[in-house]
Amino acid sequence: MNADSGLGAVRFNPDGLVPVVAQDVLSGDLLMVAYANREALELTVSTGSAHYFSRSRQALWRKGETSGHTQAVSEVRLDCDGDAVLYRVRQEGPACHTGARTCFVTRLGPGNQGTGPDQGGHLLQRLAATVSQRAADRPAGSYTVQLLEAGVPKVSQKVGEEAIEVVVAANSETAGRLASETADLLYHLLVLLQVRGVPLDAVWRELDQRTR
């Protein structure tokens, strides 16, 4: 990543800072919000490592310099008004100082208070988190739990059946039916990954390697 004179388009606030949102480039999860001054942005662009400015310490800091939970920045974007920045990053370990993957874990609004596994990001990431929660809680009557308890052979069989149904739908049924069968296949694949103990992040990383 090379330094870019486009930083001149950034509208810093009177304190010389701009808010920065960090987003996981693989999962789409929103990880954290911090601030950067011009020097932090310049270092981020020139080094490919996320830098911020601490308002409490009045000091520049590099993400992960003490925790080891670094952020390799694949892209820096500026919003349409120039007053907010997006770092798209490959996060190493948790992003939040609490040890959570993302800082955005608390839900607000009627009936939504508290925290949970759904931390935003890609729809498949959220569905995988739900499958993982079913594996932990084992609620009675859950189809997901039934599959998990059946083990790899049964879930593998279901994946094969759903794959065949996708092929049939693609060749002889409606677009809506194809979408429905594809959703079934993706769901059963997530359950299979859970049974095998393979995190969805491993799939994201593999796909990421194939796009470079």
Choose among 82, 80, 79, 67: nearest CA to 23: 79
pTM here? Answer: 0.75
Name the token pair of 212.
């470079």
In a domain, residue 113? The reply is no
Other C-beta atoms lying within 10 Å of the C-beta of residue 156:
15
In a domain, residue 109? The reply is no
Q: Let me know whether 69 and 126 are in one domain.
A: no
In a domain, residue 153? The reply is yes
Output the domain CATH number for residue 30. 3.10.20.810
Q: Specify the number of domains making up the chain.
A: 2
pLDDT in single tens digits along all 212 residues of the chain: 444 457 899 999 999 999 999 999 988 889 999 999 999 999 999 999 999 999 999 999 999 999 999 999 999 999 999 999 999 999 999 999 999 889 988 877 765 555 555 555 678 988 998 999 999 999 999 999 999 999 999 999 999 999 999 999 999 999 999 999 999 999 999 999 999 999 998 998 899 888 77
Name the token pair of 27.
């999962």
Domain assignment of residue 179, given as a range: 122-210
Helices (H), 56-174: 123-137, 143-150, 152-172
Q: Which of 75, 91, 107 is the last residue of a domain?
A: 91
Contact, 52 vs 61, CB < 8 A? yes
Other C-beta atoms lying within 10 Å of the C-beta of residue 42:
15
CA distance linking residue 162 with residue 140, whole number of Å: 24
Q: Let me know whether 21 and 76 are in one domain.
A: yes
Q: Let me know whether 129 and 55 are in one domain.
A: no
